[in-house]
Structure 1
Amino acid sequence: MLVVSGISLSLFLSVLIFFKKNRNTADTILSFWLFTVFIHLILFHLSNNGTIEKHPFLAGIQIPFPLLHGPFLFLYVSELIKNHKTIKIPYWFHFVPFILTFIYLINFFILPGEQKIDILKNDGYGFENFIVFKHILNIISGLGYIIWSLFLIRAYKKALQNQFSTLPYINLKWLEFLSLGLSIIWFIIIFANETLIFTSVSIYIILVGYFGIKKGEINANPKLDILENQVKPKQNPIVASIDFHKQSTNRYATSGLNQEKTELIKSGLEKYSKKEKAYLDPDLSLNILASKIGVHPNYLSQYINEILETSFFDYINSLRIEEFKNKISKEEHEIYNVSSLAYDCGFNSKSSFNRNFKKITGKTPTEFIKSSSK
């Protein structure tokens, strides 16, 4: 029953995403991936209920399919976060193992139907070495692409923290869910039988459908490109003579952050971050703050990372937390609820406020308020 549900939902989601309005490249990749899951589940279902014995031309077609899921995950993650630092590899190159495996299996596909069925029933008799090699290749491909995808997500999240004061939490969790969910399935592949494997795949697809449609990740995936559409800083007269465009794009590699710029940034942060409370803007970014101060974002990022020893994200949110604690000390929480105060302090969601408050203070807002009132 679960497999049938997985078959139906994977086809439904594939079609839904493919024909969605303003479909982008990431959507197309996800749509093709879900359609691949649909075909894979159908072939397993037909094999499991004995239907393939009546249609032996389908026998073995599903064997190379596990080599598709890792590449599809990686391409989807890579395209969604627009990782420009990744070595550019043509899409088709990721599917070479699948293509070569399929070509090798032609020797199996051209056999008489009854012989193919007998080979499958006898644990691949005559193809034992291939089966062992294929199992190892499946594990290397699956886990390798999952680790690569998680590495990209982690690097992306770190880059975001140096650019923005608010993270696209839902989208990050969506990518982590896809990656970690698939990693669980690959561990099941290593230790379990086919029935449990495809049951877990079906559950995975059902969860993808439920969370994707409920939370909107599938139907409204924004482009999470942090390297494009950046705000060009307005030059302050003090630093107008500096040619920022000649700065190296390599992070701090050829930085010109000297004592003069350091003092400029220090006074700028004191003015705009603390006195004028720029952190109250929930959309505040590194580029916006650098523009206010009149320095290149690279200098401001270096100052925050190396001198303050924190990320832009943590720096701004620590100021927001201090603003909240200041309001609490004035007992404003007795007039306004905690959520309202959090929004007033620059947070754009209650969950974001709670996570950051716990991270910075070690207490939940409720626990902090109770301890403060004693």
Structure 2
Amino acid sequence: MTDPVVMIISMVMLGQILLSVPILLSRAMKSVIFLPLAIFLLANSTIALVPIVNAQFPDLSQLYSAIVFPTLFLLCPCLWFYIEGITAEKPWKLNKKQTLHFVLFWPALIVGVMIMFLPKDMYTDIFINDIDVVAPLAIVTAIGLLVMMMLWLGQCVYIAFRIIYRLVDYRKQLKNVFSNHDDKSLNWMNWLLFIAISTWLFSLVTVFSSNLFDNFLFNIRTDSLLSLLLVWSLAHFGLQQKPVFTDYSESESVDIAAQNTEAPKNEDVTVRSPPMKYQRSALDNEQSNRIADKINNIMSKETLYLDSNLSLQKLANHLAISPNYISQTLNETLCTNFFDFINKWRIEAAKPKILANKDSVLTIALEVGFNARSSFYKAFKQETGQTPSEFRKQDSSH
């Protein structure tokens, strides 16, 4: 008999998916990055139906098991495609090369067919009664299941590492483009990744503990609850999240050549979107030093850093200089990135306000261009080695 708690969790998960997938599919008509997330959730809905099918339609359980097994091998590729898409520096598209991620799906499909063609009594003995069966087809199917589950675990580990490295690179790139990125860091993905890894491990351990050791080392309720958290997190945040770089490029792209500000001689003033690559740059040291002077002068005179939404593109538009050249100047001449450079100016502007002690730290943070108290504290500590209150106390003691 199916655990009623597992049934309830499965129904809640299914409801969440049925509410989210139609919205994602409609958005996929405009941006294909929502399609992998929709497929991921649909695959989870297929898996979530297992206890319901087993309880309400036992005659269909064998056929459904044959369908569900290859569905597992859609999860990792689709999750990777979604994360790759929303962190992409250019509009993400599906291509033939990406079909390699589904290489395990086809042998899993063969194993699924083998499950479907098992004699009914043999299927019952293996998957329901957990009785050893020595028939050749049963042995081959059991070995196929074991091998594919091990490969699935390996794929999960591989995808998890790829996602981690992807997020690290993505967050580094944010600092080259935005002066505030609290709402762009995708920190919710850290939580998502933890849940995904936990879910995959619990699923695998549950299978092995039940089939190899005749008992459950891990409660299936825990596995179901983790799956629900994973689906809820992806559905909730996925519906809100937009691709940061492509959205930024489309909303802020301006024809700099049409502006009147004079660009440095021989500079290519065409705006180009990230990433910033300098290997073939024609920018020399003299031009770079001149750009550095312009950036510092405009910060000093026009206090652009007070704009909490200041981005590399906005600064490039204001100076009529290629954002590639500005980024290269910041990285190579001023030995910093856009994020740290702007925040340094903001911290310098905040220091006299902190010493004056007339406003709260949050008020000061917002006045100088930060979006949150926490990001201000972090930047202030990084720049001065002290918190704002420690900085104020040290000055008063002198």
Shorter-chain-normalised TM-score: which range? Answer: 0.7 to 0.9
The runs of 4+ residues in structure 1 deviating greater than 6 Å are: 246-250
Q: Structure 2: which amino acid aligns with 1:217? A: F
Q: How does 1:232-311 map to 2 (within 5 A)?
A: 232-233=255-256, 234=259, 236-239=261-264, 241-245=266-270, 251-311=277-337
Find the aligned partners of 2:222 and 2:89 in 1 and give their Cα distance. 30
1:204 equivalenced with 2:226 (yes/no): yes
* 2:72 paired residue among 66, 72, 79: 66
Residue 34 of structure 1 aligns with which residue?
Answer: 41
Contact 1:10–1:35 (Cα < 8 Å) also in 2: no
Contact 2:288–2:329 (Cα < 8 Å) also in 1: yes
CA deviation map 1:65-113 (0-9, x unaligned): 3322211211111222234498964465533422331124313311221
Change beyond 3 A, Cα 1:3–1:261: farther
CA deviation map 1:137-175 (0-9, x unaligned): 111211112222222222222111101111153661123
Please give the secondary structure, in 2, of the residue aligned with 1:107: helix
Change beyond 3 A, Cα 1:10–1:274: farther
Please give the secondary structure, in 2, of the residue aligned with 1:140: helix
CA deviation map 1:5-43 (0-9, x unaligned): 432332222222233396344444323322321221332
Contact 1:282–1:348 (Cα < 8 Å) also in 2: yes
1:225 equivalenced with 2:225 (yes/no): no
**How far apart are residue 282 of structure 1 and its match?**
0.6
Find the aligned partners of 2:268 and 2:89 in 1 and give their Cα distance. 27
Please give the secondary structure, in 2, of the residue aligned with 1:126: helix
Contact 2:350–2:364 (Cα < 8 Å) also in 1: yes
Contact 2:62–2:116 (Cα < 8 Å) also in 1: no
Taking only the aligned residue pairs, the percentage that are identical comes to: 25
Find the aligned partners of 1:320 and 1:197 in 2 and give their Cα distance. 52
Find the aligned partners of 1:154 and 1:37 in 2 and give their Cα distance. 27
Find the aligned partners of 1:209 and 1:102 in 2 and give their Cα distance. 24
Find the aligned partners of 1:199 and 1:368 in 2 and give their Cα distance. 51
Contact 1:170–1:217 (Cα < 8 Å) also in 2: no
Find the aligned partners of 2:120 and 2:385 in 1 and give their Cα distance. 65
Residue 338 of structure 1 aligns with which residue?
Answer: 361
Change beyond 3 A, Cα 1:366–1:258: same
Contact 2:65–2:115 (Cα < 8 Å) also in 1: no
* 1:11 paired residue among 4, 10, 14: 14
**How far apart are residue 44 of structure 1 and its match?**
5.1
Change beyond 3 A, Cα 1:105–1:84: same
Contact 2:177–2:338 (Cα < 8 Å) also in 1: yes
Q: CA RMSD, aligned part only?
A: 3.5
**How far apart are residue 366 of structure 1 and its match?**
4.2
**How far apart are residue 269 of structure 1 and its match?**
2.0
Residue 107 of structure 1 aligns with which residue?
Answer: 114
Residue 313 of structure 1 aligns with which residue?
Answer: 339
Find the aligned partners of 2:313 and 2:384 in 1 and give their Cα distance. 27
CA deviation map 1:161-190 (0-9, x unaligned): 101111153661123322232123334455
Comparing 124-133 with 135-144, greater Cα deviation is found at: 124-133
| Count of residue correspondences | 368
* 1:175 paired residue among 180, 186, 189: 189
CA deviation map 1:295-348 (0-9, x unaligned): 21111111111222222112212221222222112223xxx2211111101012
What TM-score, normalized to structure 2?
A: 0.79
Structure 1 gaps, min length 5: none
Contact 2:291–2:326 (Cα < 8 Å) also in 1: yes
Change beyond 3 A, Cα 1:60–1:15: closer
